[in-house]
Structure 1
Amino acid sequence: MGSGHSSEKFTCNQYLNGQGPPSLVQQASEGLNGLSKSVAGCQPEGQMTWVILNRDLPGFPDDNTLQISFIFPDGVQKEKHPNPGQPYAGLRLCAYLPDSREGRRVLKQLDKAFNQQLLFAVATNKDGEDMVTTTSIPLKTQPDGGSRVDGYPDPDYLKNVRQLLRDKGIE
């Protein structure tokens, strides 16, 4: 059961440019967050871990929170990336799910998608810099603030992300 009374803040939400990602709608419609020159399945070497926080998410008052951390160090692009031999900037990102039956299903699907290199890619931004970014699978990168800022509450998120993952063959 989530506490709902804690005043502690979620602090794991860092981006290389100091700004958050585009909205879920933008992520889905633009494919790679408006970035170009990406290659499907070109996720670089990285790490996905998760922990349970004794806090609830808005809309899930009876559940704890699953905090998923994705870490991609800076690196040099390989043949599968858009500009082999060139450097790219890494990424540190946290995502949140309710620790519920449905949230655990999504976590399992995200883990499969991560291992199949479907969640992130190396892409070139509008300034010509290569960096790790999310793909077309939206992640909740804020624990609250609503869907406008990729947070909760968002009553359709779990259903929608499960469908997007199923569309990519992830059950």
Structure 2
Amino acid sequence: MGSGHSSDKFHCNRYLSGQGPPSLVQQATQEVNGKFNTLNGCQPEGQMTWVILHKDLPGFPDDNTLQINYIFPDGIQTDKHPHPGQPFAGLRLCAYLPDNREGRRVLKLLDKAFNKKLLFTVATNNEGEDVVTTASIPLKTQIEGASGAVGYPDSQYLKTLRKLLRNEGIE
């Protein structure tokens, strides 16, 4: 190489087969390097924390309970929400997992999903108000005395939750 020449190449041999690079949509939704890329969801800004309760969940008699606290303040909707520029009501919600190996694993997955803004969204409720609500991932919001949909016992919940999170690209 003479002076004024760079050892850097200004072309890419990768696409000489006649195919161009994948589109941004393809890149966002297809498997890349063994990991699934997902676009962030439309969850408003909020906070996720957790604590250990020294109480067992029905169906998990030998384990403590992980209480996950989600807090979303009132806010203004963005272009990802049903009525951009309009206010929405916030949310305070507690969800529960057994404090065992599998429950801790799912907690980490829920944290990833929360950070990718996939767990909650803004939607219009039956009264016509725009509110923060759960998206497509079901959360157990009752410890006991509720149906299997929102409470315990539910022996398949952790397995089902992992599968749903995997479908969203969270592993």
In the superposition, the TM-score normalised over structure 1's length comes to 0.74
Matched position secondary structure for 2:114: helix
Deviant stretches of 4+, over 4 Å = none
1:157 Cα deviation from its structure 2 partner: 0.4
Matched position secondary structure for 1:102: helix
What residue is the counterpart of 1:46 in the other structure? 46
Gapped regions of structure 2 (runs ≥ 5): 1-39
Q: Which amino acid is the alignment partner of residue 96 of structure 2? A: Y
CA distance in 2, matches of 1:103, 1:147: 20
For the aligned residue pairs, the C-alpha RMSD in angstroms reads 1.3
Decide whether the 8 Å contact of 1:91 with 1:132 is kept in 2: yes
Decide whether the 8 Å contact of 1:146 with 1:154 is kept in 2: no
Gapped regions of structure 1 (runs ≥ 5): 1-39
**What's the % identity of the aligned pairs?**
76
Matched position secondary structure for 2:111: helix
CA distance in 2, matches of 1:146, 1:85: 37
Q: Per-residue displacement from partner, 1:105-140 (whole Å, max 9, x unpaired)?
A: 110000000000000001112332111000110000
Kindly indicate whether residue 138 of structure 2 is the aligned counterpart of residue 126 of structure 1: no
Relative contact order (alpha carbons < 8 A, sep ≥ 6): 1 or 2 greater?
Answer: 1
What residue is the counterpart of 2:167 in the other structure? 167
CA distance in 1, matches of 2:55, 2:127: 38
What residue is the counterpart of 1:84 in the other structure? 84
CA distance in 1, matches of 2:146, 2:130: 30
Kindly indicate whether residue 70 of structure 2 is the aligned counterpart of residue 70 of structure 1: yes
CA distance in 1, matches of 2:49, 2:114: 11
Decide whether the 8 Å contact of 1:145 with 1:153 is kept in 2: no
State the number of aligned residues: 132
The structure that has the greater radius of gyration is: 2
What residue is the counterpart of 2:104 in the other structure? 104
CA distance in 2, matches of 1:146, 1:163: 23
Decide whether the 8 Å contact of 1:58 with 1:144 is kept in 2: yes
CA distance in 2, matches of 1:57, 1:128: 35
